[in-house]
Structure 1
């Protein structure tokens, strides 16, 4: 069996444990999942697996859930974590796609499928109650501190930009090391902090969270690793579904969360949002009169 994971909850062990409970068509999917190469499963959409097993998309998704996964993206992520344990899994997957695709259409389709599955899974697991708690922290804050490093800085920058346009004073930060200490100097209990840390936490994030806790800053963590240690020390944790095949950018679902928070905040502070947008429009016209 090629599709293996470490530990007592491997894909193969899950199939063996649940075999008697699976329907005939679910067993077809399960046989394929344990026999196929991990990279083939990670790159396949539900429709691809359904076609290969003579079943349906719904059967593929249902089988993944019967095996104890949240869905097909969760199954893929679990396989990917162990498949790439000795190297860089996402790089390996990208190389597989590059070598296997004979034309741009196939590559484009793989990326789109990855994004669609990721967004669907994100929508299914979205915790509205936690989103409401995050909104309350943002609305009550005088200023929002948006933090992310690397590609996640894009999410922090995007959220700060949109919040400012909606009338909520915000700033973004993507620094690490000694420079981060300077950015933390002005944080007070009147702030809220949104921290984008999808899959891994730098030591700098530990400092940020500890300082926020000490100064009374409300903290919101956006991550795909809901079980990471840092999650226990923030006020709100929002799930950010990871890429099943590693083909789409980390900030994809984080930016969707940002849009949700901004739109919700605009509905709460409608007058301020309208006034800010009117000012923004006037300033833009002064820069480019014909716009």
Structure 2
């Protein structure tokens, strides 16, 4: 039997809307996840469809996953189906098909069908993305290198395809004008946060990445309007990252989340959400490896964007940092 009702799991930048609503009423309520208007989306290119499915599938309901897997697995066959036909093939409802299309970034099913037809043509021409294999325990090292390189490249391509440039531009603008920036992350995500902080420091911005979760919360208490808090968590549900972002959000700071789960709890406290992707997890390749790769790409995009917007002050600050460290990189005296 087909289903008739289903909740939409997407939550992208939901805290921003709540901030505006709360300002009118004198409060800042925590928002419920809600789907972004289709008109505000950037329709992904056909070749990005598979990347969108890989990135967003974990945040979908099971019935939406069936639709997404069907269109990604058989673009040509799915493009030939009406919305009713695809609903019947996947055992879902027409409403579920339309919601899945919108979650993938398309205004409606008609636009998704056009993208599927274009993707099928690309695949027929031999331009389909390569399918990578898992790393086996007995793989020779050259094979491991080749597989990792292919997975990393696919991970970067997926992240670029999934990244909402409107959200990215808003995040860059917030960072460029920030009085103070706090960055929260645990484990591998903390290392990514440190990378962002050292980059921002070198162009003259005040940034911190507290390693202790308690210190992160006490720092967040000091943030106000004009400050920015950045949370990095692939799962979107790391308590030690959610807590300081929540505190920063409640104290009026602009909040950003870099996460692989756009439906994660972290997005409830994020004004702007930057979605990352990751390669498939396997026994010898934990999610932290691929999530780090995609997070670093987002960090680099943020840094370059901020450096562009603050170039008049960033360039001299960067030069000064180079000069301050120059003596540590002096050439060795001749023998």
Q: When the two structures are superposed, what TM-score results if normalisation uses the length of structure 2?
A: 0.58
Q: Which residue of 2 aligns with 1:33?
A: none
Higher relative contact order (CA 8 A, sep 6+): 2
- The size of the alignment, in residue pairs, is 226
Is 1:99 the counterpart of 2:137? The answer is yes
User: Which of 294, 297, 303 lines up with 1:262 in the alignment?
Assistant: 303
Q: Which residue of 1 aligns with 2:25?
A: none
Distance (whole Å) between structure 1 residues aligned to residue 307 and residue 218 of structure 2: 31
RMSD across aligned positions (CA): 3.6
Give the Å deviation of 1:98: 3.4
Distance (whole Å) between structure 1 residues aligned to residue 268 and residue 259 of structure 2: 13
Q: Which residue of 2 aligns with 1:225?
A: 261
| Secondary structure of the structure 1 residue equivalent to 2:181 | strand
Runs of at least 5 residues in structure 1 that lack an aligned partner in the other structure: 24-54, 64-70, 77-92
Q: Which residue of 2 aligns with 1:163?
A: 200
| Secondary structure of the structure 2 residue equivalent to 1:167 | coil
Instruction: Give the direction of change, closer, same or farther, for the CA distance of 1:159–1:60 in structure 2 (3 Å limit).
Output: farther
Post-superposition Cα deviations, 1:72-94, rounded to whole Å, max 9, x if no partner, equal: 88xx9xxxxxxxxxxxxxxxx9x
| Secondary structure of the structure 2 residue equivalent to 1:157 | helix
Distance (whole Å) between structure 2 residues aligned to residue 21 and residue 119 of structure 1: 26
- Asked whether the equivalents of residues 61 and 72 of structure 1 are also in contact (C-alpha less than 8 Å), the reply is no
Distance (whole Å) between structure 1 residues aligned to residue 216 and residue 149 of structure 2: 36
Q: Which residue of 1 aligns with 2:21?
A: none
Q: Which residue of 1 aligns with 2:77?
A: 22
Post-superposition Cα deviations, 1:23-56, rounded to whole Å, max 9, x if no partner, equal: 8xxxxxxxxxxxxxxxxxxxxxxxxxxxxxxx99
Instruction: Give the direction of change, closer, same or farther, for the CA distance of 1:59–1:282 in structure 2 (3 Å limit).
Output: same
Distance (whole Å) between structure 1 residues aligned to residue 62 and residue 173 of structure 2: 40
Q: Which residue of 1 aligns with 2:277?
A: 241
- Asked whether the equivalents of residues 60 and 72 of structure 1 are also in contact (C-alpha less than 8 Å), the reply is no
Distance (whole Å) between structure 1 residues aligned to residue 305 and residue 69 of structure 2: 41
Distance (whole Å) between structure 2 residues aligned to residue 288 and residue 256 of structure 1: 27
Q: Which residue of 1 aligns with 2:173?
A: 136
Post-superposition Cα deviations, 1:97-149, rounded to whole Å, max 9, x if no partner, equal: 23241x11111111111111111111222211110110111112111111111
Distance (whole Å) between structure 2 residues aligned to residue 270 and residue 111 of structure 1: 36
Distance (whole Å) between structure 2 residues aligned to residue 126 and residue 13 of structure 1: 18
Runs of at least 5 residues in structure 2 that lack an aligned partner in the other structure: 1-57, 79-119
Distance (whole Å) between structure 1 residues aligned to residue 328 and residue 206 of structure 2: 22
Give the Å deviation of 1:61: 9.8
Distance (whole Å) between structure 1 residues aligned to residue 198 and residue 68 of structure 2: 47
- Asked whether the equivalents of residues 182 and 220 of structure 2 are also in contact (C-alpha less than 8 Å), the reply is no
Is 1:214 the counterpart of 2:257? The answer is no
